[in-house]
Structures are given as C-alpha cells and as structure tokens.
C-alpha cells in the first residue's frame, strides 16, 4: 500500500489536488493507494501532551495510513523555504518505530522556480533520521498554481511527465 501524504493542513490546497492526481495515476496502474490529507488531523492532535499521550483519533488515522503502508509518498509545498510545520509536527508526534525501514519518496511544489528543493532536502534529512529509505528521484514542480485548468485539473505537461516518471520509478522498485 502506498500512502500519498498531502503535506499541508490548508483546506482546498493545490497540494491536495496534486496528491489526488497521483492517487488517480496509481489507481489506473492497479496500485493500492490512499491519501492522508493533513487537513483532516483531529483537533486534539496538537497539544503539549502529544509526545506522551497520543489521542485515539490521531492514532486511528496514523494506524490506517502509516503503519500498514509500505511506501509513503510525500507531496510537500514550500512554506518559508522549507516544508510545512504541520508535517514536521505530524512526524514528531508519531511513534518513530513505525517509520523504520519503510520506503519514502517526495514531490516538491512551489509557486517559485525551485519546486521546493530546500524543503525536499530538509525532509530527506528528517526521514533518514527516522531510518526510512528515501528514493533518489525527487520531482520539483515549480509555478504550481499556474499548472491547473479552470476545473482544477493538472494540465502542465512537464509536471505530468515528472509525476508519471516518478511513479514508474517507485512502483518498479516495489
């Protein structure tokens, strides 16, 4: 199972639209996948006690989307030259042993020209610390908000090609 993580808690985000596109491609290829939308984190997720006593709602979401997944595909938008704090909080609040030896990959998004290159580097370091196997191919989708048609469909051909190529690489190694 591949879990596609929409790496922001912003509702109606471009990140979620890209995650949905990736999920659709995986489904067309017969790959089992699901989306973890961080905007659906329970309201009791963030608290000073989150490191010691995780809420039942959080653990249910974590169990169904991370523990049973063999691969985590992070869709990460650029926030202040890195990745969103909610994604870091999600990783920090999670039982770290659940990430060990899992496979991970990422697709970076930005409205600028670098496609969240720095955020990908930052997240790679954290995932390595968690002892995850991070895929070498890390697509960088720049000018992302201009990559959709009026209906919200991703239509930027170079971005579509990068996503297709990335999915081909990660699925062939599974």
Confidence label for 47 from pLDDT (cuts 50, 70 and 90): confident
Once rounded to an integer, what is the mean pLDDT over residues 99-112?
95
Once rounded to an integer, what is the mean pLDDT over residues 58-66?
89
Would you call 27 exposed, middle or buried from its count of C-beta atoms within 10 A (0-12, 13-18, 19+)? exposed
Once rounded to an integer, what is the mean pLDDT over residues 39-61?
79
For the chain, the average pLDDT equals 92
Q: Judge whether 7 and 84 are in contact, CB under 8 Å.
A: yes
Q: What is the pLDDT of residue 131?
A: 96
Cα 4 to chain centroid distance, Å, stands at 5
* Residues 80, 124: Cα–Cα separation, whole Å: 17
Q: What is the pLDDT of residue 56?
A: 81
What is the rounded end-to-end Cα distance, in angstroms, of the chain?
10
Q: What is the pLDDT of residue 48?
A: 72
Check pLDDT > 80 for residue 45: no
Structural domains for the chain: 2-172 (3.40.50.360)
pTM of the full structure: 0.94
pLDDT digits (tens, 9 = 90+) for 120-171: 999 999 999 999 999 999 999 999 999 999 998 999 999 999 999 999 999 8
């Amino acid at each position: 199972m591949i879990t596609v993580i929409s790496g922001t808690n912003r509702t109606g985000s471009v990140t979620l639209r890209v995650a949905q596109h990736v999920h659709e491609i995986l489904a067309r290829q017969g790959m089992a996948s699901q989306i973890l939308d961080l905007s659906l984190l329970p309201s009791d997720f963030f608290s000073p006690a989150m490191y010691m006593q995780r809420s039942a709602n959080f653990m249910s979401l974590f169990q169904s989307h991370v523990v049973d997944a063999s691969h985590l595909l992070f869709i990460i938008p650029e926030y202040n030259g890195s990745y969103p704090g909610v994604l870091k909080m999600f990783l920090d609040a999670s039982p770290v042993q659940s990430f060990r030896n899992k496979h991970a990959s990422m697709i970076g998004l930005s409205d600028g020209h670098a496609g969240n290159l720095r955020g990908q580097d930052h997240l790679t370091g954290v995932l390595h610390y968690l002892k995850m196997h991070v895929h070498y191919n890390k697509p960088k989708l720049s000018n992302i908000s201009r990559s959709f048609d009026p209906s919200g469909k991703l239509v930027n051909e170079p971005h579509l090609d990068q996503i297709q190529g990335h999915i081909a690489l990660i699925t062939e190694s599974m």
